[in-house]
Structures are given as structure tokens and as C-alpha cells.
Structure 1
Amino acid sequence: MEHTRPTEGLRRRQFVRLSGTAGATGLLGLMGAGRALADGGGEHQAPEPAPPAPDGPGATTCPTPSTLCGYPSDTGGRYDLWDRVQVCEGTKTGPPFPQCLRTTPTYVILNGGSGSNHDYLLVPSCRISGIECPFITTAAAPNYWLEAWNNAQPGQPGHVVYPNIGLGINSADPSIRQQDQLHIHLAGIHSGIQTQLNNYDATITNTPSRWRNQIVPIWGLTSAGNPAPRSYRVLHVGNLNTNLFRLLLDSVVRPTGAAMSAQILAVTPRLIGNGGFYVLNSEPGLPVPPGQPGGTGTVDFLLAYA
């Protein structure tokens, strides 16, 4: 998939290649827990009702081709994933690759690159470069996050076989994102992430206007299994019926003067209280309280692929 900056020590994962509020004391306590915290078991898996099969949403308007959103004629290299979408749709021929798991008028589901049963991708059928494309925050855009969640459920082509599901999208940083076609990862989430979110739950807001100030340190893992503490803004939502890209734009990006292209988003179920979902956001320049680690432009510290 993507690779992180060398300073973050995360080895580059081979992308679909295309085969496919706590202070320093609290953070040190987390770090002392070691890898067991990030990958340990012991969580109760909340039962989830099987959702209806995604019904292939109707055709939608695509963004006007532009430097920011991309051009339909883009091909090869960093656009290989866009090539694959077109092959799935039958509008372009190409070399053999693992099957298109689901093709709809608005997205396709593909295997990720790890070969595991908890590594899939939802990729829009429109030419959309990534999180920086303004189209995804408009009313014309499909609810890609809800579709990703539905496709990750049992009986669906992107069924994530892992104790808990994590969905994620990376920033546009070219040292992190290898493919310039929007893709949401359908993967597992390290069990320790859920444990930490549970511990912070009483302080996590469900008010979008407070999201930008709700920053907590979360202990993740690099692809080599090394500790990767980073800070994230966390919001609790009751469902995924809202366009999360728009929510991020209105609640975080515009109020802080940040760049949409620098943001990451991750979604995972809330396993306590009245349920719902945690939405995590971060960026490399995230202002953090004293003693907390900085932010990140990658979701790879949270998600389990292989």
C-alpha cells in the first residue's frame, strides 16, 4: 500500500502491485505496556447485525477533471489503481490481476496487496485523486465510508476477518500515499487501539464543533511491530450516514486553517456504551498538548493488513 516517512520507521508495504486528555505521564504509561497493548487480545467483540448487501448505488456526477482531482486519461505509475478500476468496469483492457470483488456504478472493491483476509480497498469509479479533491465533500459524492463499512461485513466481498474492523484513508503526502486514486482501506484494527479508545471514551466528544480540540495519544504499531505513538483527534458518531469528508472539512480543516490534503481519517466501531463509531483524524502538523506525541499523515499505525 503506502509507505511512511523514513523518520517514522515504517517499512513500505507493498501496494496492490497491483496485484493487489492525557499528558506525558499518561503516555509513558501507555508506552510501558509495549506491543501487548497494540496487538493484545482480551476485547469483547460486540455482535454486529449483518447489513443488507450494498445494492450498487446509482450513477453519480463525477468531479470536473482538474489538476487537483485528476484526469480520466491518467494512467500507469501512481495511477495504476485508476487503471484497475477501469478494467473492472470494462472500459479499459489491461493485464490479468486478482478479481474485481464488486463493481458498482460508483465504486469497486478490490483485494489489497497483503493477500490476507483483512485487506481490501474501496475505490471510486470516478477519477478522484484522493482526500484533497473537493468533490468528495459535496452532496453529489456517494457516502464512500458507509459503503466501505457495509462491504467489510460478513457475506460481503470485502469481509474483514479480524476481531474488529478499521477503515482508513491516508493524506496526499507523496512520501506516504503511493497511489493517486482515492481508496479507503478495509482492514483490521490493532486490538490495543480499541482498548485505548475505550479508556479515553469518557473524554471523547460527540459534538463535531469540539472535534478539532479533542486530541488523545494513541499507541499504534509500525509494519515491523515497533511502537508508534501518535496523536489523533477523536470524535464519536452514532452512525455513518453523514459524509465524513464534509464533516472533517467543516469541523477541523476550515476552523484550523489546515490543508485537507494533509489529513488522514480512520473509522472503527465503538464497542462500549451505546455503540456507534470512533472517527480518528490526524495530520503531521497537529498541535498537541505538552508531553504528547505529534500527529501523522498515515493510517498504517492503526490498521492491521497482513
Structure 2
Amino acid sequence: MTTSTPTPVPIPSPAHPQRTRVRRATRLAVAFTIACTVSACARLATVDSNALWKIVDIRCVPSQQATGTPGQCTTVNLGKRYVILKDIVGRSQHLLIPTDRITGIESPLILAPHAQDYWVDAWDARRYVEGSVKRTLPDDQLGLEINSQYRRSQNQLHIHIDCMRREVSLALARHANDTPGEWRWETIDGRRYRIMRVTSLDEASNPFRIVARDNEDAEAMAAQTILVTGAGPSADTDGWLILNSGIDVDNGSGSAEGLMDHACRVADAP
């Protein structure tokens, strides 16, 4: 899990960066060195990278199986093989975590033929965010996010579920009517993201599968970050926006979590 300090969102730029795949290992190593400051590396080194997995496997699932209660988790879905956990960071942030051992975005298991559609389940779980702030929010003010392997502290796949920063939602509004299935590039917070509008989050439109189309191996996927938010107030009618960047993208990022607001200030608006 990572946290990012919100910064102003500049006016989006339509320029198209070149996604370079040559000498990937060198670029990833350099990017990680730059991204990981001395203090950040020290902090990550002291974190138990299996903490989330231990909560799921030792506390939540056994409790659900034995007593019908989710233990430390908010809910445990044994049939769909995931839990929802309230994160210790933030007012309303929750996490979707598989009950199977899946390390993260780089795992081939998320692309297996019968893999669970975790993004669908995570989107359905946005109600827990709304429950935390005690109000219903438009879908374009809610988001889901997963960090790259190089910008996470936990080695168990987890999707962040929380509010979006208001200024980010406003910047993304220009994509509300984009043709579904086409990538468009934007600069947000000084980082390059490609953005695709989709009309569902399952099967071929599963964000993992979409991003994997041109990131065909585990090494390439390990560098990616994905964020999903409503393309408009009602995703059922407006669709969703998938944002993707990576540390292998010129001026890209391995984490889109900073586009979210773990203080959920949008919930305080009149």
C-alpha cells in the first residue's frame, strides 16, 4: 500500500509519448532507483510485505469458515474468493484482496482463462466507501487503483477502493464521450497516462487484460499501474475510464494512487 501527497492537476496535454520496450530491465532499475528515496526505501524495508496476506489467510478466511463472521475484514466472499478490508490509511479507503495467493499485477494468475473479475467485484464494493462517508457519491468521484510491483509495499494483490480527487475528476471529464476501446494520452500531475473508455469491466474489458495486450509478459506487467473511475456520474450508462501508466513510459508513473483522495474531501461538498 502506498500513499501520495495530492498536488495540483495541470491542464491535460494531448502529446503522445513513445512507449519504449528496448532494454527494459535497465530502465526499470533506473526508474525504481529514482522513485525510491532513501527514506522511502528504509520505510518499505521495515514493512512486513506479507501483512495483508496474513490478515486474509489467518484472520479473515478462517473466521468466516468457522463462525460466519469476517474477522478483521469488512466482508469475506468465499464463493468469489476475495475479501474487502478497511485500510488503516484514510477515512474511507478499502481494499479488495484475493483469498488465493496472488502476488500482484505481474502475476499470470490474473490473466488465466477463468480468473476472477476482481475489478467488477471491487467496483461493486465502492458502497463501503460510501458507507464510511455516509453519503452516495457519483461514480466519477470514486475510483479503483493497483500499483506496480515497484511502487507497493505488499506482495499480495490488492485493489484500492476510494474517492477521487475533485480536480482529477474534472480533468478526466473531457473523456466522458470518448469512443470506447481507444487509448488517448494525457498528462495528469505531471505524469503521462493513457486513458480508455470502456462499457464494462469484465471479460475482454477486464482492465488487466486490456493493459496486458501490449504488455505481454510478467516483467512488462510488473511496471504498470492501473486506475479505474466512472466516465460520468453513472457508470452503468456512461461507462468507465481506465488509466494506465508505468515506469517504462517516458515521464510515466508506477503508481496512480495519488490521483485518489484518501481523505475523501468530495464527500464534504454541500
**How many angstroms does 1:132 deviate by?**
0.4
Give yes or no for the alignment of 1:279 onto 2:253.
no
SS in 2 for 1:280: strand
2:104 to 111, 123, 130: 130
The match for 1:168 is 145
Which residue identity lines up with residue 84 of structure 1 in the other structure? I
Offset at residue 77 of structure 1 (A): 1.5
- Map of 1:254 onto structure 2: 216
**C-alpha contact (below 8 Å) 1:130/1:181 kept by paired residues:** yes
Partner of 1:216: 186
User: Deviations 1:143-189 (Å, cap 9, x if unpaired)?
Assistant: 1000001111269878895552110000000xx20111000001101
Measure how far apart 1:83 and its partner are: 0.3
- Give the counterpart letter for 1:88 in structure 2: C
Structure 2 Cα separation of the partners of residues 181 and 159 of structure 1: 27
- Superposition map of 1:176-255 within 5 A: 176-201=151-176, 204-207=178-181, 210-211=182-183, 214-218=184-188, 228-242=189-203, 243-250=206-213, 252-254=214-216
- Counterparts of 1:233 and 1:158, CA distance in 2: 31
TM-score by length of 1: 0.61
Residue 258 of structure 1: how far off its partner (Å): 7.3
Q: Is the 8 A contact 1:120 1:187 kept in 2?
A: yes
Where in structure 1 are there 5+ consecutive unaligned residues? 11-20, 25-75, 92-97, 219-227, 288-293
Q: Distance in 2 between matches of 1:112 and 1:267?
A: 19
* TM-superposition CA deviations, 1:55-108 (whole Å, max 9, x none): xxxxxxxxxxxxxxxxxxxxx8201110000120118xxxxxx83111112000
Partner Cα separation in structure 2 for residue 127 and residue 298 of structure 1: 22
Distance 1:180 1:90 in 2: 20
CA distance in 2, matches of 1:180, 1:280: 22
**1:88 equivalent among 52, 60, 82:** 60
Say whether the 8 Å CA contact 1:132–1:260 is kept in structure 2. Answer: yes
2:77 paired residue among 104, 127, 132: 104
Alpha-carbon offset, residue 22 of structure 1: 2.6
**Which ranges of structure 2 fall in alignment gaps of 5 or more residues?**
7-11, 16-46, 64-70, 264-270
Structure with more helix by fraction: 2
Q: What is the Cα deviation at residue 301 of structure 1?
A: 1.8
Deviations 1:254-293 (A, max 9, x none): 39x9700000111000117950100000012214xxxxxx
- Summarize deviations over 1:213-265 as a string: whole Å, max 9, x none: x21112xxxxxxxxx32111100001222322112112x3139x970000011
Partner AA of 1:282 in structure 2: S
Query: Matches of 2:126 and 2:253 in 1, distance apart?
Result: 25
**Per-residue CA shift, 1:190-220, capped at 9, x if unaligned?**
1111211112445x4422xx43xx21112xx
Count of matched residue positions in the alignment of Structure 1 and Structure 2:
213
Cα distance change of structure 1 residues 258 and 83 upon mapping to structure 2, 3 Å threshold: closer
The residue identity in structure 2 corresponding to 1:90 is P
Task: State the AA in 2 paired with 1:196.
Answer: A
- Quick one: which amino acid aligns to residue 130 of structure 1? G
In the alignment, what sits opposite 2:117?
Answer: 143
CA RMSD, Structure 1 to Structure 2 (Å): 3.3
Tell me the residue number matched to 1:268.
Answer: 229
Amino acid corresponding to residue 112 of structure 1 in structure 2: D
Q: In 2, Cα distance between the equivalents of 1:22 and 1:284?
A: 19
Aligned-partner Cα distance in 2 for 1:189–1:156? 12
Q: What is the letter of the counterpart of residue 139 of structure 1?
A: P
Which residue number in structure 1 is paired with residue 67 of structure 2? none
| Contact in 2 for aligned 1:160/1:188 (Cα 8 Å) | no
TM-score by length of structure 2 reads: 0.69
Identical positions, percent: 32
Larger RCO, structure (CA 8 Å, separation 6 or more) = 2
TM-superposed deviation, 1:114: 2.1
- Tell whether the 8 Å contact from 2:94 to 2:129 is kept in structure 1 after alignment: no
Shift of the 23–275 alpha-carbon distance from structure 1 to 2, 3 Å rule, reads closer
Pair 157,141 (structure 1): closer, same or farther in 2 beyond 3 Å: farther
Question: Residue 99 of structure 2 aligns to which amino acid in structure 1?
Answer: S
Residue 141 of structure 1 aligns to a residue whose secondary structure is coil
